[in-house]
Amino acid sequence: MDYNWLSDCEKFHRRDVLKVGVLSLLGLSLSKYYALADATAKTGKMDQTSGTADSVVLIWLAGGPSHIDTFDPKPDAPLEIRGNFKAISTNGNMQLSEHLPKIADQADKITVVRSVTSPTAAHEIGTHYMLTGFMPLPGFAVPSYGSVASSLLGPRSALPPYISVQQPGSEMGPGFLGASLGPFCPGGDPANANFAVRDLDAPTYMTPEKEQRRRELRDVVDTAFKNYEKGSDSARAIDSFYNRAYTLLSSNEARAAFDLKKEKEETKNAYGRNNFGQSLLLSRRLVEAGVRFSTVTLGGWDNHSNIFNALGQSHLPMFDQAMAAFIADLEQRGLLKRTLIVVMGEFGRTPIINRDAGRDHYSRVFSLMLAGGGIKGGNVVGASDPKGMEPAADLVRPEDLAATIYHCLGIDYTQSITSPEGIRITLARGGTHIRKAMA
């Protein structure tokens, strides 16, 4: 093969601004544009407390993190419940696990919700419920939060509006909204020194002249197809993707968002030189560059055995470091207020430690963490009972979480969206945003 790739896109001649219509700059097909116009009419700030987020970063703790060992410690409970970890005080109005000392220092910026409850303690269903606000529906694919937000709010920049840093599961997918609203997955490990997005960098052989010629040739050969296009939504959709791809390829800023080489070593170190830490760093760059919704997935929480070794020795410290660095970094750059951070898994874990020194699935009550985007700092919402077994106040259901995410983005969560088959769902069916979490 006679081509090479330059890893640094700054070396390229900056391309001319594309002559594309407003619609294609937005990267929208016409049908999506109308859907958007329609939705915008319905959207609007809900009330005075409506959030201030332009973007969301959803940190998905796959497997179901133990609430007692993270955000809801029970130092006064019997040993078989409180486990090995101590509770520490924070600069917010809460205690956290001793293995989250750095988040403890950022606790004045977070809300911990300790009364989340869901009826299902099965991974697949719980994941679907938490990531869409809906239980799985047979034969019917519910869109995830990111796809809905992209559909209703549109992109903020040349970047795709919805990015999933790790390979997304179907629960993070576009559902019936269709592929164009699915997450873009850059692929690869951001912690890898050579991390780059596949097929995004301009190739070495590309010169401005060649680029120009190819685009003109493509215009020539594509003209005849405009006769067909009128009768085909998907033909028009492809055209929108083509424009969106070009917008992305020709925007150095947009592409540079993926370039972690632009970060200082000390920043990288602050986040932690691992997949999770660098994924959060990448997310910060994406938020900065105008990505609407991004997800970062961290597994390793399904601790049926040996939970204290697994969490205490490496997993929590890594999580703690990256999360705290992420919050601090966003704050320092003035992005925190405009970025909602959601940290959660599909459920919590059993309060009583099992005979393998582990904890099993538990969904009657568990915790999640919110920050930024109009969320109050140093704040605890709800509580579990002293044994961490039952919710004791301010029940929060997945529907309420859905409502909160949409609310922070300024989306009216009582509106309905309709699938191509005509099935209509209300965004946060029956949920209300968590008022006590709002600043």
Partner 1 sequence: MRLMKFHGSYLLCAALAVACTGGGAFAQRRHVAAKPATHGAAVLAAKAAAEPIPDKVEFLRDIAPILDRGGCSGAQCHGKFGGRAGFQVSLLTLNPEDDYEPIVFGGRGRRLNFAEPEKSLFLLKATNVLPHAGGPRFEVGSQQYRTVLKWIKQGAQFSESDPRLTELTIVPNKLTLTKVGQKVPIKVMAKYTDGSTRDVTKKAAFSSTNGVSLGVNEDGVVTGLRWGGGGILARYLGTVTATFVTLPQERKGVYPQLGTENPIDKVVFENLKRLNVIPSKRSDDAEFLRRITLDTLGRLPTIDETEAFASDKAADKRPKLIDTLLDKPEFADYRTLRLCDLLRVNPRKLGGNNELAERSATLFYEWINKSVAANKPWDQFVREIITARGSTYYNGAANFYRVEREPNDRMENIGQAFLGVRMMCARCHKHPFDRWNTDDYWNFASFMSKVGIGGGRILDEQVVNYNKYGQVINQSVNGHNRGKVAPATYLGEKDPLPADAAIKGDLVDDLAKWITNEKNPFFARATVNRLWSNYFGKGVVHPVDDMRATTPESVPGLLDVLSQELVSHKYDIKYLIKLILNSQTYQFSGVPNDSNVKDDRYFSHYFPKPMPAAALLDIVNQATGAAENFGTFAERTKAVQSALPPNNYFLSAFGQSHREFLADMDPKLEPNLVQTLIMINSPYIEGKIRNGNTVKAVMDKAQTDEDLVRGLYSRTFCREPNPTELAKSVALIQGAKQKREGAQDLLWALVTAREFFFNH
Residues 397-426 that bind partner 1 (CB under 8 A): 399, 416, 418, 421-426
In the complex, least distance from residue 112 CB atom to partner 1, rounded to whole angstroms: 22
In the complex, least distance from residue 367 CB atom to partner 1, rounded to whole angstroms: 20
In the complex, least distance from residue 166 CB atom to partner 1, rounded to whole angstroms: 15
Q: Find out whether 118 and 431 touch, Cβ atoms under 8 Å.
A: no
Does the protein bind partner 1 through residue 346 (CB under 8 A)? Answer: no
Q: Find out whether 428 and 414 touch, Cβ atoms under 8 Å.
A: yes
Does the protein bind partner 1 through residue 175 (CB under 8 A)? Answer: yes
Q: At 399, which helix (H) or strand (E)?
A: helix 398-408
Closer CB to partner 1, 222 or 253, in the complex: 222
Among positions 75-134, residues that touch partner 1 (CB under 8 A) are 119-120, 122, 124-125, 128, 134
In the complex, least distance from residue 391 CB atom to partner 1, rounded to whole angstroms: 13
Closest CA to 60 of 127, 105, 134: 127
Closer CB to partner 1, 47 or 266, in the complex: 47
Q: Find out whether 183 and 147 touch, Cβ atoms under 8 Å.
A: yes
Among positions 271-310, residues that touch partner 1 (CB under 8 A) are none
Among positions 307-326, residues that touch partner 1 (CB under 8 A) are none
In the complex, least distance from residue 267 CB atom to partner 1, rounded to whole angstroms: 28
Closer CB to partner 1, 11 or 230, in the complex: 230
Rounded distance, CA 200 to CA 78, Å? Answer: 55
Does the protein bind partner 1 through residue 2 (CB under 8 A)? Answer: yes
DSSP state letters, 251-287: -HHHHHTT-GGGS-HHHHHHH-SSHHHHHHHHHHHHH
User: According to CB under 8 A, which one of 18, 30, 88, 200 is a site residue for partner 1?
Assistant: 200
- DSSP letter at 410 equals T
Closer CB to partner 1, 74 or 364, in the complex: 364
Does the protein bind partner 1 through residue 210 (CB under 8 A)? Answer: yes
The label of the residue with tokens 């470091």 reads 321
Instruction: Please list the residues that pair with 413 across neighbouring strands.
Output: none
Span near partner 1 by CB under 8 A; candidates 31-39, 56-64, 89-97, 192-200 = 192-200
Closest CA to 322 of 307, 304, 341: 341
User: According to CB under 8 A, which one of 178, 277, 348, 372 is a site residue for partner 1?
Assistant: 178
User: According to CB under 8 A, which one of 22, 79, 193, 224 is a site residue for partner 1?
Assistant: 224
Closest CA to 205 of 25, 3, 358: 3
Closer CB to partner 1, 193 or 224, in the complex: 224
Span near partner 1 by CB under 8 A; candidates 16-24, 81-89, 382-390, 429-437 = 429-437
Rounded distance, CA 286 to CA 280, Å? Answer: 10
Closer CB to partner 1, 35 or 353, in the complex: 35
Q: At 37, which helix (H) or strand (E)?
A: helix 30-42
Greatest pairwise CA separation for the chain in angstroms = 76
Closer CB to partner 1, 78 or 119, in the complex: 119
Q: Find out whether 424 and 145 touch, Cβ atoms under 8 Å.
A: no
CA 360 to each of CA 55, 121, 180, 408: distance values in angstroms, whole numbers, following the listed order: 33, 9, 38, 32
| Cβ neighbours of residue 194 closer than 8 Å, sequence gap 6 or more | 7
Does the protein bind partner 1 through residue 34 (CB under 8 A)? Answer: no
User: According to CB under 8 A, which one of 131, 149, 185, 298 is a site residue for partner 1?
Assistant: 185
Does the protein bind partner 1 through residue 221 (CB under 8 A)? Answer: yes
Closer CB to partner 1, 17 or 395, in the complex: 395
Question: What would you report as the CA-atom Rg of the chain, rounded to the nearest whole angstrom?
Answer: 23
Does the protein bind partner 1 through residue 47 (CB under 8 A)? Answer: no
Among positions 226-265, residues that touch partner 1 (CB under 8 A) are 227-235, 237-239, 241-242, 244-246, 248-249
Q: Find out whether 290 and 56 touch, Cβ atoms under 8 Å.
A: no
User: According to CB under 8 A, which one of 11, 19, 47, 139 is a site residue for partner 1?
Assistant: 139
Does the protein bind partner 1 through residue 390 (CB under 8 A)? Answer: no
Does the protein bind partner 1 through residue 223 (CB under 8 A)? Answer: yes
User: According to CB under 8 A, which one of 92, 146, 154, 182 is a site residue for partner 1?
Assistant: 182
In the complex, least distance from residue 420 CB atom to partner 1, rounded to whole angstroms: 9
Q: Find out whether 160 and 244 touch, Cβ atoms under 8 Å.
A: yes
DSSP state letters, 85-129: PPEEE-SSSSEEETT-HHHHHTGGGEEEEEEE--S---HHHHHHH
Does the protein bind partner 1 through residue 167 (CB under 8 A)? Answer: no
Rounded distance, CA 288 to CA 257, Å? Answer: 8
